Structure 1
Amino acid sequence: MATLRQQLFRVKPVPRDGGESGSQLKRSIGLFQLTLIGVGGTIGTGIFFILSEAVPIAGPAVIWSFLIAGLVAGLAVLCYAELAGSVPVSGSSYSYAYSTLGEMPAMGVAACLLLEYGVSTAAVAVGWSQYVNQLFNNVFGFRLPDAFSFAPEEGGIINLPAIILIALCALLLIRGTAHSAVTNTVMVIIKVVVLIFFAAVGFTGWNADHFANFAPFGLAGVMTGAGVIFFSFVGLDAVATAGDEAKDPRRNLPIALIAALITVTGVYVLVAIAALGAQASGEFEGQSAGLSAILENIVGASWPGTVVAAGAVISIFSVTLVTLYGQTRILFAMSRDGMAPKVFQKVNPRTMTPVANTVIVSIVVAILAGLIPINFLAEMTSIGTLAAFLVVSIAVIVLRRREPDLERKFKVPGYPVVPILSIIGCLWIIKDLRPITIIVFVIWTALVLVWYFFTGRKNSVLGQQQAALEVSR
């Protein structure tokens, strides 16, 4: 019988057939759609409204905050790319940790991912609500009452538009992955065009004086801003959650991850520079639907703001769709391993999607979106993402040492410097997050590990397989 230590750190074999054996999910997502899952799950998560949170912290030096957050994300994405080509299954860094570090560490990563995707879905849904109100005001001349547009802590009763958005995304995901991927592709193209439009108009209002006091809060402000902005890079790793539904995953997953990173970082820097050149940093704080407001002030008319607001409504819809998808696929992988209740792995034979899983996740996320303010949601998402990126970087090193002959379609350049720098970068940003964020994160992770110790450890499919093998001997 396996000892407690052997149970906690048992490692799941790396799949050798290009994916998880026995998966009921259909391989229907090609390279272009995989790339747009990464872009779609990221652009809109932050850039449409995170400036109002980050600029008051960092000033115009928020541009450096974006670059630092992007650099750390980039280092981690290179590590993701290697693991995605080596362990091409659903579950993202949870599955990678399970195949490298062991079962208990994998559950710690699962806690990070559940926080990252669940909370980010809620957060972007809250941001969507702001732009819906802006669009309604510009087109129809009215706004939804504050009571139904804000969380209780922000002076409302419930954020109804956020809940409606999550319900719509859930319905689309239930219909099937192929339908969702096509819808996401269309939405991503629209959002990129809208953001380029914003930058083009924004540069017509350029004022170099807005950059005069570039870093009013020093390096500390820049780093704290990077911690908040890191929320804007959530979604890149959503590509890795599609391992069981991607065509030729060993080749396409690494390419899609890197292509999405380049696209996202370029768009973010372009929009941030245009926004800061058009509006003084002191005017960002508390600004709802900020990009729309900036264009309205430049042009002196509502139509450019209406275009951006409409683009944001479409854009953030696609982010919510991707992050909700990622959450359900992580739970699917956990359930298949015995780490979560079996209901999360049940696949509808007609749509080939985990319907019950999607419904349960959507209800929980809708409650968060309806009742919790966005600033707290954004930081909780950042720490979950950073912790997951940290583990992936460690996993690359472990898998290189343990299985040097494993087929790798992509290898991290500059190994082992890149994964080590990724680890340091993640820790550097985490230390500058607010203490309450770190405390809540630790409590949440502890609760998930308690669940594992008393339930998941006993229901582990890998553990049952190993026990059966011992008996047969």
Structure 2
Amino acid sequence: MMMGMGMMIGAGVFVATGISIGFAGPGGVLVAFALNGLVALFSAMSFAELASALPTAGGAYTYIDEAFKGLIGFISGWLNWFALTVAGSLYAITFATYTVFLLEGTKWFSSLGVESGLVIKALALLIIAVFVVINYIGVSETGNIENLITIGQMSTLLFIGAFAVFYTILHPERLSHFSNFVPNGWGKVLAAMGFTYVGFEGYEVIAHAGEEAFDPKESIPKAILYSVVAVTTTYLLFAFAAIVGADVSPENLTAWFAFHGAVGMGEAIKDLMPYGGLLITLAAIFSSTSALNATIYSSTRVLFAISRDGKLPRFISKIHPVRRVPHIALALSSIIIVTVALALPIEDVAASADIVFLLIFLLVNAAVIKIRRERGDELDYGFLMPYFPFIPLIAIALQGVLSIWIFDVSPTAWFVTLGWVILGLALSSRYKGAREAKEALRREVVFGEWLPEGYKVLVAISNPRNAPYLARVGETIARARKGELALVSVVTVPEQTPLEEAHRFAGPALELLRRVREGLGGDVNVRGVLYYAHSVYRGILSAIKNKKADLLVLGWRGRSRLGYIFGSNLDRLVEAPCDVLLVKPGRGEEVKRILFPTAGGPHSLLAAEIARIFALEKGASVTVLYVDREGIERKRIERRLEPVMRILNGARGTLKVVRSDDPKRTILSECRDHDLVIMGASESSLFARSLFGELPVEVAKECEKTVFLVKKDLGRRSWLRRWFL
């Protein structure tokens, strides 16, 4: 949902809204936004249905090619690539336009005497270059940052809308701005719908996550539909704020917005509220940069897919051997983005993006009808739209009308689009390679067979230094539970690179899996599996889901990265839907004395079971350490820890109570006389630090011995993590 909303709120609401009020009037824009939201919702249902049945990374191009193949499939991909690149140009110009809008209010900028149009083009070129470099480097782990930007921009727009409602209650005379509701006729409303439609596309990128979403048949359709509803509501409030905020007479309102053009929205919000100009400028800058990054990424993947399918020269689909990104596809996408941004006025750029997206969505609505008619019985749908086929048919008719009506706003945009289609037809006659039916490679079994029943231990290995030890830990637990062991390694590629290409880089992971397997005892069934994903976190979650793992064993170096407790992947994986054992290897592997600090609780029972397993396996003793900070009577402590001691019965477990106001120092002092330290998590909660507790994490960081941190799956997942992570 964050992906969709972040992509949708990119430029349409900031640039196209003010321009549209200038020719459609105040009421015309509100009607256009409401109807566009309805049209977008109809198309979103088609995307949701197709994404639930065909959870692949190709998005619109894959769906259209799946339905029509041949020339139509190629043209759809060709148009989709152009649409994304033109949208990228629009977002770059939006960033530059509002940056100049902010700078124009400063004496420093005025003293330069530089023409604003020239500065806008230069800034657009600069920001495109920045994000091209980011995509080339393959920067990862930006999902949380993108989420924060999206939440920030949505909150800003909703705040401005809410402020406008409150302001109108105090100043009801501002409602007179709607007196001339549709000054130029209802035909201009249709033109406004087509011109602002770019603000209602973007939710389709959610479908690109179909291969990696944890439960795509449920989560992908929900995210698509919810994002459209949320953004449409936000747009209506924001447009209302601009209309009532403009400090101008009702009869001059439309002309005022026409005069200010692309920055009309900014000028209106500046009049509405204190610091409104700064607020809207920052929102526009952050929104446009977030969307620019997403469009560069998406356009690169679409062009890569077309080339890989043999419909464009094969060299375009080459992967950089070091960066693991389709660098040639990225370069070609970047050239188009720069060319359009520098060559066309912002109105023509926006109109070109609108036309092509309308045509793409029209074809998707046609594809959903064809695919359900021909393959509905064989596909496993997670979502089926109601009133089929009337909803996609209505969407097709409306999108066709809107795309034609944009000619009234920008004839240049139609000429550019037709020229692009003609170029695509010329290329298609030369490259007629049949589409290769490729299933995205998500996992590869390296060795072993998976038994249908029994306790399943999954060990995630990546670091050659600790992988053998983690595997032996997992083997010990699997042996004691009469279960089996799965060794899982995740091969990752950047978001810009399709998963099908990940197998090219699987050599080191394959070698590590085989080497680790050779070092095991051989008395436990072992299976080695490679997963291909855009992040370690997603790959391991897929493994947990596919193998129905009971216990996940993870390695930790004992260091934290900036902003994380354990690390970007581990912070999420410790809340996986299974039991989790986090291992920080220490000095030596000989285990004669085990330290088990605990205060009781559900996680301590699993920790006690693991302590018992290793005590019996190694012939070691277990010291159950209770740090008493309150002067509790020993009998009460014994009653509290009775379930733990019962589990340790027969494993030479003894209880040691130490009175101390500094539990951390006390535990670390005891660690010196033990070989292995096992600690359970605190009560399950949202964040990793509070999940394991401050004390276990800090002890694990400073202890030089091997430390096990244990979390039992209590079958609870916070609604925030369910919906947003």
Aligned to 1:256: 223
User: 2:238 maps to what in 1?
Assistant: 271
Match of 1:334 among 295, 306, 313: 306
In the alignment, what sits opposite 2:483? none
Cα shift readout 1:150-208 (whole Å, capped 9, x = no counterpart): 3xxxxx48701111111222233234364343332221112112212322444426601
Q: TM-score, normalised by structure 2?
A: 0.55
Amino acid at match of 1:117: L
1:419 lines up with 2:392 in the alignment: yes
Whole-angstrom distance in 1 between the partners of 2:244 and 2:58: 41
* 1:43 shift after superposition: 0.7
Partner amino acid for 1:45? A
* Deviation for aligned residue 1:348: 4.2
Matches within 5 A, 1:220-239: 220-239=187-206
Amino acid at match of 2:128: I
Partner of 2:160: 198
Q: Which residue of 2 aligns with 1:120?
A: 87
* Aligned residue number for residue 448 of structure 1: 424
- Asked whether the equivalents of residues 139 and 306 of structure 1 are also in contact (C-alpha less than 8 Å), the reply is no
SS of aligned partner of 2:15: coil
Equivalent in the alignment of 1:323: 295
Q: CA deviation at 1:415?
A: 0.8
Question: Does the 8 Å contact 2:94/2:284 carry over to 1?
Answer: no
Query: 2 CA distance for matches of 1:140 and 1:407?
Result: 62
Q: 2:332 — aligned with what?
A: 360
Structure 2 equivalent of residue 160 of structure 1: 122
Q: Distance in 2 between matches of 1:459 and 1:113?
A: 19
Task: For 1:146 and 1:400, locate their aligned partners in 2 and report how far apart those are by CA, in whole Å.
Answer: 60
SS of match in other structure, 2:10: coil
Secondary structure of 1:218's counterpart equals: coil
Describe how 1:202-217 pairs up with structure 2 within 5 A.
202-203=164-165, 204=167, 207-217=174-184
Residue matched to 2:266: 292
CA distance in structure 1 between the aligned counterparts of 2:107 and 2:280, rounded to whole angstroms: 16
TM-superposed CA distance for 1:462, in Å, is 5.5
Go from structure 1 to structure 2 and tell me whether the alpha carbon gap of 1:322 and 1:267 turns closer, same or farther (over 3 Å shift).
same
Deviations 1:366-411 (A, max 9, x none): 2221232110111111111111111111111111111122111111
Matches within 5 A, 1:304-323: 304-323=276-295
CA, structure 1 residues 339+181, in 2 after alignment: closer, same or farther (shift >3 Å)? Answer: farther
Of 4, 11, 20, the residue aligned with 1:54 is: 20
Decide which structure has greater helix share.
1
- The corresponding residue for 1:188 is 150
SS at match of 1:88: coil
The aligned counterpart of 1:104 is: 71
Alignment-derived partner of residue 432 in structure 1: 405
Partners of 1:73 and 1:270 in 2: how far apart? Answer: 17
Give, as a single letter, the amino acid of the residue that structure 1 aligns with 2:257: F
Residues 308 and 438 of structure 1, relative CA distance in 2, 3 Å threshold: closer
RMSD: 2.5
State the shift of 1:352 in Å.
4.3
Q: What is the letter of the counterpart of residue 254 of structure 1? A: P
Give the greater-gyration-radius structure (CA): 2
1:143, 1:409 → 2: CA distance?
57
Answer whether contact 2:86 2:336 (CA < 8 A) is retained: no
Distance 1:245 1:359, change over 3 A: farther
Structure 2 contact 93–120 (Cα < 8 Å) conserved: no
Q: Is the 8 A contact 1:56 1:282 kept in 2?
A: yes
Deviation of 1:253 (Å): 2.4
Give yes or no for contact 1:201–1:295 (8 Å, CA) kept in 2. no
Q: What letter corresponds to residue 424 of structure 2 in structure 1?
A: V
Q: Which has the higher contact order (CA 8 A, sep 6+)?
A: 1
> 2:362 is matched with which residue?
390
* Secondary structure class of the residue paired with 2:14: coil
Alignment partners' CA distance in 2, 1:133 and 1:430: 31
Number of the residue aligned with 1:26: none
Give, as a single letter, the amino acid of the residue that structure 1 aligns with 2:338. Answer: A
User: Which of 58, 71, 76 pairs up with 2:43?
Assistant: 76
1:459 CA drift (Å)? 6.5
Question: What secondary structure, in the 3-state scheme, does the structure 1 residue paired with 2:204 have?
Answer: helix
CA distance in 1, matches of 2:113, 2:163: 30
Q: Give the letter for the 2:380 counterpart.
A: E
Other-structure match for 2:579 = none
- Counterparts in 2 of 1:459 and 1:180: CA distance versus 1, 3 Å: farther
- Distance in 2, matches of 1:161 and 1:321, equals 15
* Matched AA of 2:388: Y
Aligned pair partner of 2:7 in 31, 41, 56: 41
Quote how far apart the aligned CAs of 1:212 are.
0.2
Secondary structure in 2 matching 1:119 = helix
Could you tell me how far apart the structure 1 residues matched to 2:320 and 2:375 are? Answer: 36
Q: Which of 387, 404, 408 matches 2:381?
A: 408
Tell me if structure 1 keeps the 8 A contact 2:37–2:229: no
TM-score scaled by structure 1? 0.82
- Work out the CA distance in 2 between the residues paired with 1:320 and 1:425: 27
* Equivalent pair of 1:138/1:306 in contact (CA under 8 Å): no
The correspondence for 1:282, drawn from 230, 238, 255, is: 255
Look up the equivalent residue of 1:437 and give its one-letter code.
Answer: A
Secondary structure of the 2:430 match is helix
State the distance in 1 between where 2:242 and 2:34 align. 16
Give the Cα separation in 2 of the matches to 1:369 and 1:179: 28
Provide the C-alpha distance between the structure 1 equivalents of 2:331 and 2:111, rounded to a whole number of angstroms.
Answer: 27
State the identity as a percent. Answer: 27
Question: Is the strand fraction higher in 1 or 2?
Answer: 2
- For 1:374, the aligned partner's letter is I
Distance 1:145 1:234 in 2: 38
CA separation in 1, counterparts of 2:92 and 2:127? Answer: 7
Q: Distance in 2 between matches of 1:80 and 1:283?
A: 39
Q: Give the Cα separation in 1 of the matches to 2:435 and 2:147.
A: 37
| Deviation by residue 1:321-364 (Cα, 9 ceiling, x = unmatched) | 11222211111221221223334433346554333322331233
> In the TM superposition, what is the alpha-carbon distance from 1:264 to its structure 2 partner?
1.1
Q: Tell me, in whole angstroms, the C-alpha distance in 1 between the residues paired with 2:323 and 2:352.
A: 33
Paired residues, number: 421
Give the unaligned 5+ runs of structure 2: 247-252, 439-725
CA contact (8 A) 2:98 2:281 kept: yes
1:67 partnered with 2:34: yes
* Aligned twin of 2:710: none
Shift of 1:37: 1.6
Q: Which whole-Å CA distance do the structure 1 matches of 2:189 and 2:113 have between them?
A: 33
Give yes or no for contact 1:173–1:180 (8 Å, CA) kept in 2: no
SS in 2 for 1:424: helix
Compared with structure 1, are the counterparts of its residues 359 and 217 closer, same or farther at alpha carbon in structure 2 (3 Å cutoff)? same
Change (3 A) 1:166 1:321: same
Cα distance in structure 2, aligned partners of 1:349 and 1:290: 47
Residue 65 (structure 1) shift? 0.9
Q: 1:362 to 1:62 in 2, by over 3 A?
A: same
CA contact 1:40–1:184 (8 Å) conserved in 2:
yes
Worse overlay, 313-322 or 171-180 = 171-180
- The AA in structure 1 aligned to 2:350 is A
The answer as to whether partners of 1:238 and 1:323 remain within 8 angstroms in 2 is: no
